[in-house]
Structure 1
Amino acid sequence: MKYNLQTGSHTVYALQYHFVTVTKYRATVLTNDICERIGEIANDLSEDFGVSIQSVNGGQDHVHVLFTAKPTTDMTKFINSFKGVSSRKIRKEYPEVKQVLEDSFWQPGYFLATTGQVSVDVLMEYVEEQ
Protein backbone atom coordinates (compact mmCIF):
# COMPACT_ATOMS: atom_id res chain seq x y z
CA MET A 1 0.00 0.00 0.00
CA LYS A 2 1.46 3.36 -1.01
CA TYR A 3 0.45 6.71 0.43
CA ASN A 4 1.53 10.24 -0.38
CA LEU A 5 2.59 10.99 3.20
CA GLN A 6 3.13 14.24 5.04
CA THR A 7 4.94 14.55 8.34
CA GLY A 8 4.68 16.62 11.48
CA SER A 9 6.93 16.67 14.52
CA HIS A 10 5.37 13.45 15.92
CA THR A 11 2.98 12.37 13.17
CA VAL A 12 2.83 10.90 9.73
CA TYR A 13 -0.43 11.45 7.88
CA ALA A 14 -2.27 11.52 4.57
CA LEU A 15 -5.44 13.61 4.95
CA GLN A 16 -7.30 14.54 1.79
CA TYR A 17 -10.74 16.15 1.63
CA HIS A 18 -13.41 16.81 -0.98
CA PHE A 19 -15.50 19.90 -0.18
CA VAL A 20 -18.56 21.06 -2.15
CA THR A 21 -20.60 24.19 -1.57
CA VAL A 22 -23.63 25.45 -3.47
CA THR A 23 -24.73 28.99 -4.33
CA LYS A 24 -27.77 30.36 -2.52
CA TYR A 25 -30.99 29.18 -4.22
CA ARG A 26 -28.72 27.27 -6.62
CA ALA A 27 -28.40 30.50 -8.59
CA THR A 28 -26.42 29.91 -11.78
CA VAL A 29 -23.95 32.75 -11.31
CA LEU A 30 -20.59 30.98 -11.39
CA THR A 31 -18.66 31.71 -14.57
CA ASN A 32 -15.19 30.41 -15.40
CA ASP A 33 -13.72 33.74 -14.24
CA ILE A 34 -15.54 33.56 -10.91
CA CYS A 35 -14.51 29.92 -10.36
CA GLU A 36 -10.93 30.90 -11.09
CA ARG A 37 -11.17 33.76 -8.59
CA ILE A 38 -12.65 31.41 -5.99
CA GLY A 39 -9.61 29.17 -6.51
CA GLU A 40 -7.31 32.14 -5.89
CA ILE A 41 -9.21 33.01 -2.72
CA ALA A 42 -8.95 29.40 -1.52
CA ASN A 43 -5.20 29.42 -2.15
CA ASP A 44 -4.82 32.73 -0.30
CA LEU A 45 -6.61 31.30 2.76
CA SER A 46 -4.87 27.95 2.67
CA GLU A 47 -1.66 29.13 4.34
CA ASP A 48 -3.53 30.52 7.34
CA PHE A 49 -5.17 27.15 7.99
CA GLY A 50 -2.36 24.76 7.10
CA VAL A 51 -4.14 23.28 4.12
CA SER A 52 -2.93 22.75 0.57
CA ILE A 53 -5.42 23.29 -2.24
CA GLN A 54 -5.08 20.60 -4.90
CA SER A 55 -7.93 21.60 -7.22
CA VAL A 56 -10.90 23.99 -7.44
CA ASN A 57 -13.59 23.57 -10.07
CA GLY A 58 -17.34 23.52 -10.38
CA GLY A 59 -20.44 24.28 -12.33
CA GLN A 60 -22.68 27.31 -12.61
CA ASP A 61 -24.16 26.76 -9.14
CA HIS A 62 -21.55 24.88 -7.10
CA VAL A 63 -17.83 24.58 -6.38
CA HIS A 64 -15.68 21.53 -5.63
CA VAL A 65 -12.46 21.94 -3.66
CA LEU A 66 -9.97 19.10 -3.23
CA PHE A 67 -7.40 19.79 -0.52
CA THR A 68 -5.02 18.21 1.95
CA ALA A 69 -4.85 19.22 5.60
CA LYS A 70 -2.95 18.67 8.80
CA PRO A 71 -4.43 16.65 11.68
CA THR A 72 -4.70 19.89 13.67
CA THR A 73 -6.69 21.78 11.03
CA ASP A 74 -10.03 23.06 12.30
CA MET A 75 -12.22 22.13 9.32
CA THR A 76 -15.22 24.16 10.47
CA LYS A 77 -13.13 27.33 10.79
CA PHE A 78 -11.46 26.77 7.43
CA ILE A 79 -14.73 26.14 5.60
CA ASN A 80 -16.58 29.00 7.28
CA SER A 81 -13.70 31.35 6.51
CA PHE A 82 -13.58 30.16 2.90
CA LYS A 83 -17.31 30.68 2.45
CA GLY A 84 -17.35 34.06 4.20
CA VAL A 85 -14.31 35.54 2.50
CA SER A 86 -15.22 34.24 -0.95
CA SER A 87 -18.80 35.49 -0.57
CA ARG A 88 -17.68 39.02 0.35
CA LYS A 89 -15.00 39.22 -2.33
CA ILE A 90 -17.07 37.77 -5.17
CA ARG A 91 -20.07 40.02 -4.43
CA LYS A 92 -17.75 43.04 -4.25
CA GLU A 93 -15.67 42.24 -7.34
CA TYR A 94 -18.53 41.02 -9.55
CA PRO A 95 -21.45 43.47 -9.20
CA GLU A 96 -23.65 41.36 -11.50
CA VAL A 97 -23.59 38.61 -8.85
CA LYS A 98 -24.69 41.01 -6.11
CA GLN A 99 -27.77 41.87 -8.19
CA VAL A 100 -28.84 38.22 -8.02
CA LEU A 101 -27.48 37.27 -4.58
CA GLU A 102 -27.58 40.39 -2.47
CA ASP A 103 -27.17 39.15 1.11
CA SER A 104 -25.75 35.64 0.88
CA PHE A 105 -23.68 33.94 -1.76
CA TRP A 106 -23.54 30.37 -0.47
CA GLN A 107 -26.14 28.03 1.00
CA PRO A 108 -25.59 27.54 4.74
CA GLY A 109 -24.70 23.85 4.38
CA TYR A 110 -21.93 22.06 2.54
CA PHE A 111 -20.57 18.61 1.73
CA LEU A 112 -17.25 17.42 3.14
CA ALA A 113 -15.77 13.95 2.77
CA THR A 114 -12.40 12.43 3.38
CA THR A 115 -10.88 10.85 0.34
CA GLY A 116 -8.42 8.03 0.23
CA GLN A 117 -5.39 7.21 -1.79
CA VAL A 118 -6.46 3.57 -1.71
CA SER A 119 -9.92 2.02 -1.77
CA VAL A 120 -11.75 0.75 1.30
CA ASP A 121 -11.46 -2.77 -0.14
CA VAL A 122 -7.67 -2.50 -0.28
CA LEU A 123 -7.58 -1.19 3.30
CA MET A 124 -9.87 -3.99 4.49
CA GLU A 125 -7.64 -6.59 2.89
CA TYR A 126 -4.53 -4.98 4.38
CA VAL A 127 -6.00 -4.91 7.92
CA GLU A 128 -7.25 -8.47 7.67
CA GLU A 129 -3.80 -9.69 6.62
CA GLN A 130 -2.03 -8.12 9.60
Structure 2
Amino acid sequence: MQEICEELKIVLVALECEKDHTHMFLNALPTFSPADIMAKIKGVTSKKLREEFPHLNHLPSLWTRSYFVSTAENVSSETIKRYVEQQKTRG
Protein backbone atom coordinates (compact mmCIF):
# COMPACT_ATOMS: atom_id res chain seq x y z
CA MET A 1 0.00 0.00 0.00
CA GLN A 2 2.75 2.44 0.90
CA GLU A 3 4.40 2.01 -2.53
CA ILE A 4 1.12 2.59 -4.36
CA CYS A 5 0.36 5.68 -2.31
CA GLU A 6 3.84 7.11 -2.82
CA GLU A 7 3.53 6.57 -6.58
CA LEU A 8 0.21 8.45 -6.62
CA LYS A 9 1.46 11.11 -4.16
CA ILE A 10 -1.16 10.06 -1.60
CA VAL A 11 -0.56 10.08 2.15
CA LEU A 12 -1.62 6.83 3.82
CA VAL A 13 -2.71 8.16 7.21
CA ALA A 14 -4.17 4.93 8.63
CA LEU A 15 -4.82 1.38 7.43
CA GLU A 16 -6.58 -1.54 9.09
CA CYS A 17 -7.33 -4.83 7.37
CA GLU A 18 -10.21 -7.05 8.37
CA LYS A 19 -11.03 -10.55 7.13
CA ASP A 20 -13.41 -9.28 4.47
CA HIS A 21 -12.70 -5.56 4.11
CA THR A 22 -10.13 -2.83 4.64
CA HIS A 23 -10.37 0.62 6.19
CA MET A 24 -8.06 3.26 4.75
CA PHE A 25 -7.68 6.91 5.60
CA LEU A 26 -5.98 8.62 2.68
CA ASN A 27 -5.01 12.23 2.09
CA ALA A 28 -5.03 12.91 -1.64
CA LEU A 29 -5.03 15.94 -3.87
CA PRO A 30 -7.89 16.13 -6.38
CA THR A 31 -5.53 15.01 -9.17
CA PHE A 32 -7.19 11.58 -9.19
CA SER A 33 -10.84 10.80 -8.58
CA PRO A 34 -11.71 8.40 -5.76
CA ALA A 35 -12.66 5.86 -8.46
CA ASP A 36 -9.20 6.16 -10.05
CA ILE A 37 -7.49 5.79 -6.68
CA MET A 38 -9.50 2.70 -5.75
CA ALA A 39 -9.01 1.12 -9.19
CA LYS A 40 -5.24 1.54 -8.87
CA ILE A 41 -5.12 0.23 -5.28
CA LYS A 42 -7.32 -2.77 -6.04
CA GLY A 43 -5.50 -3.57 -9.29
CA VAL A 44 -1.98 -3.42 -7.86
CA THR A 45 -2.82 -5.25 -4.63
CA SER A 46 -4.65 -7.99 -6.55
CA LYS A 47 -1.63 -8.51 -8.81
CA LYS A 48 0.81 -8.62 -5.89
CA LEU A 49 -1.36 -10.98 -3.82
CA ARG A 50 -1.74 -13.36 -6.77
CA GLU A 51 2.03 -13.35 -7.29
CA GLU A 52 2.68 -14.11 -3.62
CA PHE A 53 -0.19 -16.60 -3.23
CA PRO A 54 -0.59 -18.53 -6.52
CA HIS A 55 -3.61 -20.45 -5.20
CA LEU A 56 -5.58 -17.19 -5.60
CA ASN A 57 -5.11 -17.27 -9.38
CA HIS A 58 -8.20 -19.42 -9.91
CA LEU A 59 -10.47 -16.68 -8.51
CA PRO A 60 -12.01 -14.39 -11.12
CA SER A 61 -11.32 -11.36 -8.89
CA LEU A 62 -10.06 -10.66 -5.38
CA TRP A 63 -11.96 -7.44 -4.79
CA THR A 64 -15.52 -6.43 -5.46
CA ARG A 65 -16.09 -3.32 -7.53
CA SER A 66 -17.70 -1.58 -4.57
CA TYR A 67 -16.09 0.80 -2.10
CA PHE A 68 -17.17 3.62 0.19
CA VAL A 69 -15.55 7.04 0.05
CA SER A 70 -16.25 10.08 2.18
CA THR A 71 -14.61 13.44 2.71
CA ALA A 72 -13.40 14.44 6.16
CA GLU A 73 -15.39 17.70 6.12
CA ASN A 74 -16.07 18.75 9.73
CA VAL A 75 -14.38 15.76 11.35
CA SER A 76 -10.78 16.12 12.42
CA SER A 77 -8.09 13.98 10.84
CA GLU A 78 -7.26 12.63 14.29
CA THR A 79 -10.86 11.45 14.81
CA ILE A 80 -10.87 9.59 11.50
CA LYS A 81 -7.44 8.06 12.13
CA ARG A 82 -8.57 6.89 15.58
CA TYR A 83 -11.74 5.37 14.05
CA VAL A 84 -9.75 3.43 11.45
CA GLU A 85 -7.23 2.19 14.01
CA GLN A 86 -10.02 1.07 16.37
CA GLN A 87 -11.59 -1.16 13.71
CA LYS A 88 -9.15 -3.96 14.59
CA THR A 89 -10.37 -4.01 18.19
CA ARG A 90 -14.14 -3.91 17.65
CA GLY A 91 -16.44 -6.89 17.86
Q: What is the TM-score when the length of structure 2 is the normalising length?
A: 0.70
CA distance in 1, matches of 2:31, 2:48: 27
Q: What does residue range 83-98 of structure 1 map to in structure 2 within 5 Å?
A: 83-96=42-55, 98=56
CA distance in 2, matches of 1:61, 1:86: 15
Letter of the 2:26 partner, please give it: F
Instruction: Flag structure 2 segments of 5+ consecutive residues without an equivalent.
Output: 80-91
Structure 1 residue matching 2:69: 3-state secondary structure: strand
Shift of 1:79: 1.0
Structure with the greater alpha carbon radius of gyration: 1
Shift of 1:77: 1.4
Aligned CA RMSD, in angstroms, stands at: 2.2
Check the 8 A contact 2:46/2:62 in 1, yes or no: yes
CA distance in 1, matches of 2:53, 2:22: 17
1:117 has 2:76 as partner:
yes
Q: 2:62 is matched with which residue?
A: 105
Check the 8 A contact 1:50/1:69 in 2, yes or no: yes
CA distance in 2, matches of 1:95, 1:72: 34
1:53 has 2:12 as partner:
yes
CA distance in 1, matches of 2:70, 2:11: 16
Shift of 1:84: 0.6
Residues 46-87 of structure 1: CA deviation (Å, up to 9, x unaligned): 122221001111211111111111133332211101001101
Structure 2 residue matching 1:44: 3-state secondary structure: helix
1:44 has 2:18 as partner:
no
Instruction: Flag structure 1 segments of 5+ consecutive residues without an equivalent.
Output: 1-41, 120-130
1:75 has 2:34 as partner:
yes
Q: Percent identity?
A: 26
CA distance in 2, matches of 1:73, 1:107: 20
CA distance in 1, matches of 2:15, 2:31: 22
Check the 8 A contact 1:50/1:73 in 2, yes or no: no
